[in-house]
Amino acid sequence: GAGVSQSPSNKVTEKGKDVELRCDPISGHTALYWYRQSLGQGLEFLIYFQGNSAPDKSGLPSDRFSAERTGGSVSTLTIQRTQQEDSAVYLCASSPRRSGRGTDTQYFGPGTRLTVL
C-alpha cells in the first residue's frame, strides 16, 4: 500500500516568509509525528497527534511553529516568519496505533528539505 507522503519535497524560501509543509499519513494510522533533522544531525521531535486528542506540542522550538491535522488524516506544519536556522529536513511519520508498551513502529515519509535564504 501507499506509504507516508510529504510535499513539497524541496522548499526554498526567503527569510521572513511563511511556509506550509504537508504530510499524508498511511491510511488508517491514528498517530502522526513531525520531526526536524538538521544537516548531519539526528532527529528532533516537534509535535505528535493521536486520533482526536489534543496534540503534544512540547517539541515545537518556538511559537512560530504550529501544526494541525484535519479529519484525523492530513497534517500541515506551518512555520511563520522563517529564519535561516529553520533550514532542515522536516520528516513526518505515522504509526497504526498507540500501545502502552511503547512498541509502535513509525513509518516515515521522504521528508521536505527546507532552505531559508
Site string for another protein, 28-47 (x = CB under 8 A): -----x-x-----xxx-x--
Q: Which stretch binds another protein (CB under 8 A): 13-21, 50-58, 63-71, 79-87?
A: 50-58
Site string for another protein, 93-112 (x = CB under 8 A): x----xxxxxxxxxxxxxx-
- Least distance from another protein to the Cβ atom of residue 103, Å: 5
What span, in angstroms and rounded, lies between the C-alpha atoms of 18 and 56?
22
What span, in angstroms and rounded, lies between the C-alpha atoms of 113 and 106?
20
Residue among 107, 80, 86 at smallest CA distance from 38: 86
- Backbone φ and ψ of 83, nearest 5°: -120, 160
Residues of this chain that interact with another protein (CB under 8 A) are 33, 35, 41-43, 45, 48, 50, 56, 58-59, 89, 91, 93, 98-111, 113
